[in-house]
Structure formats: structure tokens, C-alpha cells
Amino acid sequence: MSLRRFDQLIGSIRQRLGTFHDRRTGLNKKYTMEDIALSAFSVFYTQCPSFLASQTAMRQNKGQSNARTLFQIEQIPSDNHIRNTLDEIAPEELYPLYDEIFEGLKDHGVLKDFQPLGGTTPIALDGTWYFSSQNLHCDQCTKIEHSNGEITYYHSAITPVIVAPGQKHAIALRPEFIAPQDGHDKQDCETAAAKRWLDKEAARYLAELNHNVTYLGDDLYAHQPFCRRVLLQRSHFIFTCKPESHTHLYSWLAGMEKNRDLHTVTQRVKDAKGHWEERTYRYANNVPLVEGEGSLKVNWCDVTITGKHRQTPYHNAWVTDWKITDDNVAGLVATGRCRWKIENENNNTLKTKGYNLEHNFGHGKKHLSSLLAAMNMLALLTHTFLAYCDESYRLIRATLPTRKTFFEHIRALMHYHCFPSWEALMDFMMRGLEIGPYSPQEA
């Protein structure tokens, strides 16, 4: 079945959650794994911490609830039962749902719009925190020991996303959680987790994306071991490259500039808001990334952007394995610059746009914190899917001014009225907003 509407999506999610490994015994199995996991997911999807309580009250008053009709939850467990049960479930058990939604987007042709440079698909890598405390911690926590003796415990993850210049959304892929690894004495870190992700997932996405993937990352990734790892995966890279962390490369470039061996391209163009600006690109091919024999040769470029609307010029630089020419340097830079979308359109959206990723929904002793974070990320991915593939959802989101307003309307409507389906809810909103099309039988 090709995913298209919310009701199909929830049915697929329920089926997958039913495969979660159930470690409960005896009378403890009153609630199904599907109901337990969907109850948690519904909170993230609706961006409403009190959703389950309000739907329990609706069921008692009306004999039916949106938890049942929209999310297919037969019985709503208590919050504590949800947390205790899900603590045993590793987030990896959720990953096939990321794959199914990815396939749905691919089937709908959405991914074709994420190929800005020679048919390549950019995948941005970045790490983000989603929990921190100086008191609460578990065996899966990472920690920072401060000079004053205090310790900060935290959870974090690599959150890969497909991005592209001009695309409003970022498409989340399987995350990789930063946590203690068996057989390793050193504490886990972002680069180690990113390497694990490449080793486990790069081949999968390379095959799915026509064997043409370009990885984007900040300066942390622009180092020889990681660049080589990307190349071993038969993929490309465009990584931010700062002078302070690449002194040998920049001294080499200084010599090229003195000998006028750096290529320069200048363009006068309008930005997305219609402002005229001047963009000056410089580039050089086949320069050493580090000092010494065996140094990886990379290609380097930078851009300086000036304009009357800018108080200060914009400047940034990258290294890449793509050969740079006068014709493609602007496209390479545009692709490299869209790395910021992993922060603005994914990580910051999860933290500040209603998903409340950094809120402690439940820490647990084993996997609860990471599983709930993966569910929260999945909720954003489902919203992204619907924004591309569900016409009703897309029309309503385009009509209402902000994401926040959209979910305020959703929460209010579900609090007071039970809808027989998500489609009925969307039709009700379209009639109220006087937009179409909506189902005639619902009018």
C-alpha cells in the first residue's frame, strides 16, 4: 500500500509498533504494545502533553475518543505504565517506520526535488542534545565533568536529514544515538557516532538515492579520517572548513593566492527576498587537507557576499571532493550553505516549534529517553510527509500563518469534538477556513 493519507500512515505505524519486543509477563499484559506505543506517539504528533488525559475524559463522557478514531488506540494506559514498558524498547525497533516514510516520499516523487547538484542528494549530519541534568542520569548518559566538580549528564544524537537549496523542509533519516558502546573505554562522541552511522546506513541510502549522495557537515567533519570514510562509502562531501582548524591547508592557499593561482568568479544576483547582492567565489583544486605524506587532496572554495541590505558581509568556506569549476562553484556553495537547514528546519524545529525535544518526557533506566526522542523525530517526519503528500494537510498548513497556530487549532478541536477520521477533521477545518477541496458528503 502506498502511503498517502494520515489514516493509512497511522495504520502502518500501528502495525509496526505491534512488532516491538514485549518483555512483560503475566497480568502485566492488559494493554497491547500497539496501544502503549501509539499513546506515546500521539502526544508527540499532537504536540499536546495532556492529549491522553483529555481523550480519557472524552471516552468517559461520550463513549468514544479521538485517541480511538484517529490514532487507533483501543485502551489508553497510564503514563507510568507507558514509561515502564517502553524503557525496555531500543529506538532501533522504530527505524523501519523511518524507512517506510522515506519510501513513501520516494514513491510520490518528492526526493527528485532534493537533487540540486549533478543529480546528487545532500544529506546533512549534525549532533544535538535532547536531555541534560546534573542529577538525573542512567547508564546510557554521556557526561561532562566541570572544573568546579559538578557533572552534567546528557543524551544526544546524530540526526541526519536530506536537505536542498530552496526546499522548505528537511527529511529525517534514521538517527544514531550517542551512548556508551560495548567494548569501548572512551566516552562516545559526535564524530564516533557519525562514523557508526556511515558504516551502518550509508550503503542503504546510497542504493535508494541512485548511488549519488553528498554529505554536508560543519568543520567537525572536515578532517581526513572522516572524509576518507565518506569516500570509502562511494559518496561525496562538502564540509565547512575553518582557518583555525586547518592551518596547513590555509597556508597552502595563501601561497596560491600570492602566486595568483586561486580562481575567482563574481556574480551579481538577487537573493530569495529580491535584494541585489554581489557574490565573490574563490576556489582551488587538489590542495592537501593536512600536512605530511599521504595527505588527502581536496578541493576548496569560499564565498563572500555583500549587499546594501547586509550590515556585514557573509563569508564561509568549504572543502569537497567535487572538482570545482567556474560553472559549478556557485552550486557547490549553495549546497554547502544549505547544511544550516539541519539546524533550522530539523533540530531547532524539534526544540522550539512545539515538539519540545529537550523536555524530559521520561528518562528511564535503559532506552526510554532515546526511544521517546526517536518518536518525537518520527512525529516531525510524519508531518513533513503529510506536507508533501496529503493535499488537505498541505492546504490547511498553507492557510494558517504558523505551525504553532495549526496545532493550536488541532488541539482545540480534538478537545471538544470526536472526529470519525483524520480526513473528517481536515474537511471540518477546510470548511471553517473556506478552502477546498473538501469531501461533499461531510458538508
Q: What share of the chain is helix, strand, coil (3-state, %, to 5)?
A: 45, 20, 35
Half-sphere exposure of 187 (CA within 13 A, CB side): 12
Residues 231, 126: Cα–Cα separation, whole Å = 18
Residues 257-273, mean pLDDT to the nearest whole number: 90
Q: What is the pTM of this model?
A: 0.94
Given a contact cutoff of 8 angstroms between Cβ atoms, the answer to whether 83 and 136 are in contact is: no
pLDDT of res. 52:
97
pLDDT of res. 24:
84
Query: In terms of DSSP H, where are the helices of 327-402?
Result: 329-337, 341, 348-352, 368-389, 391-399
Cα dihedral 229, 231, 235, 240, rounded to 10, equals 80
Q: How many CB atoms lie within 10 A of CB 306?
A: 14
The candidate with the shortest Cα–Cα distance to 128, out of 255, 218, 30, 44, is: 218
The candidate with the shortest Cα–Cα distance to 164, out of 198, 129, 223, 118, is: 118
Model confidence over 67-84: pLDDT tens digits? 999 999 999 999 999 999
| pLDDT-based confidence at residue 209 (cuts at 50, 70, 90) | very high
CATH class of the domain whose range is 92-348: alpha beta
pLDDT of res. 437:
64
Cell numbers describing residue 388: 508533501
Q: Pairing state of beta strands 213-217 and 121-124?
A: parallel
Model confidence over 93-145: pLDDT tens digits? 999 999 999 999 999 999 999 998 889 999 999 999 999 999 999 989 999 99
pLDDT of res. 29:
85
* Residues above pLDDT 70, as percent of the chain: 98
State yes or no: pLDDT of 185 exceeds 80.
Answer: no
State yes or no: pLDDT of 430 exceeds 50.
Answer: yes
Residues 405-429, mean pLDDT to the nearest whole number: 95
**Per-domain residue ranges for the chain?**
6-86+390-442, 92-348
Q: Pairing state of beta strands 213-217 and 236-240?
A: parallel
DSSP symbol at 345: I
pLDDT of res. 4:
63
Which runs of E-coded beta strand occur in 262-356?
Answer: 263-270, 276-288, 297-306, 314-320
Model confidence over 4-41: pLDDT tens digits? 678 888 989 999 998 998 888 877 788 999 999 999 99
pLDDT of res. 3:
60
